[in-house]
């Protein structure tokens, strides 16, 4: 079978297809990688399948409008995304320092896209083409669709739809909304008349013709009053459901933004169609001289089995983007993709991952979600598992078995996140045994995130006892199998609710478990998450309770240093943190001490 052609990126490519004009121009802040792990690849291939002529401009030079005119003015409209990451998150660390690498750029070199790329690109498109339908989407636009807190500017910004001056914003996974918008534009409708598509946000000068909506506090109010910001967020959060969610309205000065309810979840057949589109499954050859695009390395031989997550972690914005309802591909579709991978010339026999946002969430949380949607004001797993929760790994295990039986497949790994609390809830031993025996590459990554009950409650995570139970089960299973495999736990510092005593509690847990974390994730308040609302307002928007927040660079540095207290470079910060926390009992020579007293500098502890 011939390898699929990349979509046009130049006039010469268009001429090669006999095209003089595009129907749709797709602009992305990522390098052009034609793989289903890249949102623009899915949308452009979907439009192609619908019969439209589609071209790609990846990482254009935004300093003028010239590069945006490279493929000419499209007939029907322009689709814009910042890429797979929010551009500010791609550019800056939690300390707001510039990142030295961008995995979504050629050679991993940063600086290929501007800050707030969606907004900048839209302005340049307006310069290049004037009045033309412009639809923005992707994670950056999706999570900035309402008035939102911007960590990098430390202020509340307007909806990106307003600031970008686009015609429409598509939020969430955009296949259904984009398909309907494209059909209606092609049928002659104007962008301004397409106002009722689920999964979109539009603008209106008044509310005269709108019905059945909830009104959020206005932009001016949420920018001035943190309690009103929290109230607005709570409504957004609770109405994020395609079956029962209401239309939401928020005033921005003299204009209104109107969010239609989320798009319906894709059926299994629709998911299969999306992943069966003719992707080239690689970066465009134009990047070969730069060494390719690093982001393809982890996903090229990985398989997405489903979307959505009912885990409810407060710091994750998935509930606002993919939603809580699981949308799964069929086993046949997954095996078909696996056979494609085995036929690729650089396939070495290893499928790197099979999963989704949470690998072992293959089933909807409960049968009722299919008919009534998710429960308003309730979580599936927290503070306790819902009695209607279905937990069964049979289907996932069957897929893993079938994949590893394929000719040419040596090993199938599971590297996307596993919810260990969900794993332990049912009859887990068969799944855990096969996971350890066949699907772990020496280390299994898990994310307890924290152990303090005060913090895990705000995170929406299970407490330390559940994690300790999983550690015991994992170690026992590997011992039975005669394998020496380890857990790599991820911990987060600086999350709302965490003060120095809680950070010390986590440091002691790390000590007692014998961990030496090489990486610690600093909490970054990205738009759209419950934790970010807590960070900005100092309130839990779901309860109204006050929440402690570590805001200064020094506070955050002290918490992070505690989690890596064994690193000699952190000695002074750890010493200061323990003094401030009133835990000088952990400075000494005893086995339970984290560091030794100061003499002429940091002292190495003897092994005990």
Q: Using one digit for the tens of pLDDT, what is the confidence trace for 205-261?
A: 999 999 999 999 999 999 999 999 999 999 999 999 999 999 999 999 999 999 999
Give the C-alpha separation, 427 to 391, whole Å: 9
Q: Give the tens place of pLDDT for each residue, 506-519.
A: 999 999 999 998 88
Eight-state DSSP code of residue 65:
S
CB atoms within 10 A of CB 556: 18
pLDDT confidence of residue 606: 47
In the structure encoding, which two tokens stand for residue 389, read together?
A: 């929760």
**CB 230 within 8 Å of CB 244:** no
Tell me which of 606 and 389 has the higher pLDDT.
389
Give the C-alpha separation, 205 to 255, whole Å: 5
Residue range(s) occupied by CATH 3.40.50.2300 in the chain:
11-196
Distance of CA 438 to the CA centre of its chain: 27
**CB 124 within 8 Å of CB 133:** no
Nearest to 293 by CA among 48, 98, 35, 8: 35
Min mean pLDDT across 198-202, 304-308, 372-376, 528-532 is at 372-376
**CB 110 within 8 Å of CB 91:** yes
Min mean pLDDT across 21-25, 97-101, 126-130, 377-381 is at 377-381
Let me know the angle formed at the C-alpha of 301 by 174 and 35, rounded to the nearest 5 degrees: 30
CB atoms within 10 A of CB 440: 20
Q: Which helix (H) or strand (E) holds 275?
A: helix 268-275
The three-state secondary structure class of 82 is coil
Secondary structure tally for the chain: helices H, strands E: 23, 22
Distance of CA 315 to the CA centre of its chain: 10
Structure pTM?
0.94
For residue 604, pLDDT over 70 is answered with no
Give the C-alpha separation, 143 to 259, whole Å: 12
In the structure encoding, which two tokens stand for residue 337, read together?
A: 């993709």
In the structure encoding, which two tokens stand for residue 163, read together?
A: 């600031």
pLDDT confidence of residue 336: 98
Strands (E), 379-523: 411-412, 443-449, 486-493, 521-522
**CB 132 within 8 Å of CB 72:** no
Contacts of 261 (CB under 8 A, 6+ apart): 198, 199, 239, 241, 242, 245, 246, 247
**CB 441 within 8 Å of CB 413:** yes
CB atoms within 10 A of CB 282: 20
- Upper half-sphere CA count for residue 42 (Cβ side, 13 Å): 23
Give the C-alpha separation, 554 to 572, whole Å: 12
For residue 605, pLDDT over 80 is answered with no
pLDDT confidence of residue 370: 82
For residue 263, pLDDT over 50 is answered with yes
Q: Give the tens place of pLDDT for each residue, 51-103.
A: 999 999 999 999 999 999 999 999 999 999 999 999 999 999 999 999 999 99
pLDDT confidence of residue 602: 52
Give the C-alpha separation, 22 to 53, whole Å: 5
Nearest to 438 by CA among 401, 406, 408: 401
| Cis preceding linkage at 383, omega within 30 | yes
Nearest to 556 by CA among 239, 151, 180, 121: 151
Q: Mark residue 488 as left, alpha or beta (left: phi above 0; alpha: psi -120 to 50; beta: remaining).
A: beta
Nearest to 265 by CA among 374, 142, 385: 374
Q: Give the tens place of pLDDT for each residue, 134-168.
A: 999 999 999 999 999 999 999 999 999 999 999 99
Please, which pLDDT band fits residue 600 given cuts at 50, 70 and 90? Answer: low
For residue 608, pLDDT over 80 is answered with no
Give the C-alpha separation, 450 to 241, whole Å: 29
Strands (E), 422-549: 443-449, 486-493, 521-522
Give the C-alpha separation, 462 to 406, whole Å: 37
Name the pairing type of β-strands 33-34 and 282-283: antiparallel
**CB 402 within 8 Å of CB 331:** yes
Q: Give the tens place of pLDDT for each residue, 35-48.
A: 999 999 999 999 99
CATH superfamily of 11-196: Response regulator (3.40.50.2300)
For residue 170, pLDDT over 50 is answered with yes
Nearest to 539 by CA among 547, 530, 531, 529: 547
pLDDT confidence of residue 368: 87
Nearest to 217 by CA among 185, 189, 191, 256: 256
pLDDT confidence of residue 118: 98
pLDDT confidence of residue 391: 85
DSSP class per residue in 90-139: HHB-TT-PBPS--TTSGGG-S-SS-TTHHHHHHHHHHHHHSS--EEEEHH
Tell me which of 521 and 71 has the higher pLDDT.
71
Strand order across the 77-81 sheet: 54-58, 24-28, 77-81, 134-137, 168-170, 200-204, 255-259, 247-252, 213-215
Mean pLDDT value across residues 262-278 = 97
Give the C-alpha separation, 79 to 136, whole Å: 6
């Amino acid at each position: 079978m011939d390898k699929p052609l990349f979509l046009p990126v130049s006039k010469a490519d268009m001429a090669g297809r006999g095209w003089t004009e595009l129907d749709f121009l797709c602009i992305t802040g990522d390098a052009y990688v034609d793989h289903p792990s890249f949102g623009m690849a899915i949308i452009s291939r979907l439009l192609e399948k619908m019969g439209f002529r589609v071209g790609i401009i990846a990482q254009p030079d935004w300093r003028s409008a010239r590069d945006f005119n490279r493929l000419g003015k499209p007939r029907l409209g322009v689709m814009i995304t910042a890429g797979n990451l929010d551009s500010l998150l791609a550019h800056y660390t939690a300390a707001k320092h510039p990142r030295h690498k961008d995995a979504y750029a050629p050679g991993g070199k940063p600086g290929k896209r501007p800050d707030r790329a969606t907004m900048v690109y839209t302005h340049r498109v307006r310069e290049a083409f004037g009045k033309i339908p412009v639809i923005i989407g992707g994670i950056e636009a999706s999570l900035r669709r309402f008035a939102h807190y911007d960590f990098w500017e430390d202020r509340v910004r307007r909806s990106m739809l307003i600031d970008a001056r686009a015609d429409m914003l598509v939020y969430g996974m955009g296949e259904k909304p984009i398909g309907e918008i494209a059909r209606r534009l092609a049928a002659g409708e104007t962008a301004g008349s397409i106002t009722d598509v689920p999964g979109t946000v539009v603008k209106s000068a008044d509310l005269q013709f709108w019905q059945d909506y909830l009104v959020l506090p206005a932009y001016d109010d949420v920018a001035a009053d943190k309690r009103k910001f929290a109230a607005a967020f709570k409504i957004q959060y609770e109405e994020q459901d395609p079956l029962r969610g209401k239309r939401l309205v928020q005033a921005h000065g003299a204009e209104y933004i109107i969010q239609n309810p989320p798009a319906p979840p894709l059926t299994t057949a629709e998911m299969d169609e999306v992943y069966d589109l003719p992707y080239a499954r690689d970066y465009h050859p134009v990047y070969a001289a730069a060494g390719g695009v690093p982001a393809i390395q982890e996903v090229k031989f990985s398989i997405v089995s489903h979307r959505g997550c009912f885990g409810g972690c407060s710091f994750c914005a998935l509930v606002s983007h993919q939603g809580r309802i699981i949308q799964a591909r069929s086993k046949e579709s997954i095996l078909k993709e696996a056979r494609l991978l085995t036929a690729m010339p650089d396939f070495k026999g290893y499928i790197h991952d099979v999963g989704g946002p949470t690998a072992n969430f293959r089933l909807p949380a409960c049968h009722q979600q299919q008919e009534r949607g998710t429960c308003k004001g309730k979580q599936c797993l927290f503070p306790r598992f819902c009695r209607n929760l279905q937990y069964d790994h049979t289907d996932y295990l069957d897929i893993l078995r079938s994949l590893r039986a394929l000719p040419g497949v040596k090993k199938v790994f599971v590297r996307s996140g596993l919810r260990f609390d969900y794993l332990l809830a049912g009859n887990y031993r068969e799944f855990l045994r096969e996971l350890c025996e066949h699907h772990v590459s020496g280390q299994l990554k898990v994310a307890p995130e924290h152990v303090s009950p005060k913090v895990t409650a705000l995170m929406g995570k299970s407490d330390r006892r559940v994690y300790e139970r999983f550690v015991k089960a994992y170690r026992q299973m590997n011992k039975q199998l005669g394998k020496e495999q380890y857990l790599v736990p991820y911990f987060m510092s600086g999350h709302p609710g965490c003060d120095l005593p809680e950070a010390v509690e986590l440091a002691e847990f790390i000590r007692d478990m014998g961990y030496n974390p090489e990486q610690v994730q600093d909490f970054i308040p990205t738009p759209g998450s419950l934790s970010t609302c807590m960070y900005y307002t100092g309130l839990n928007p779901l309860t109204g309770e006050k929440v402690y927040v570590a805001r200064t660079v020094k506070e955050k540095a002290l918490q992070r240093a505690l989690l890596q207290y064994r690193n000699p470079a952190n000695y002074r910060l750890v010493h200061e943190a323990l003094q401030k926390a009133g835990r000088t009992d952990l400075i000494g020579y005893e086995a339970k001490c984290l560091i030794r007293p100061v003499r002429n500098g940091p002292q190495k502890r003897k092994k005990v």
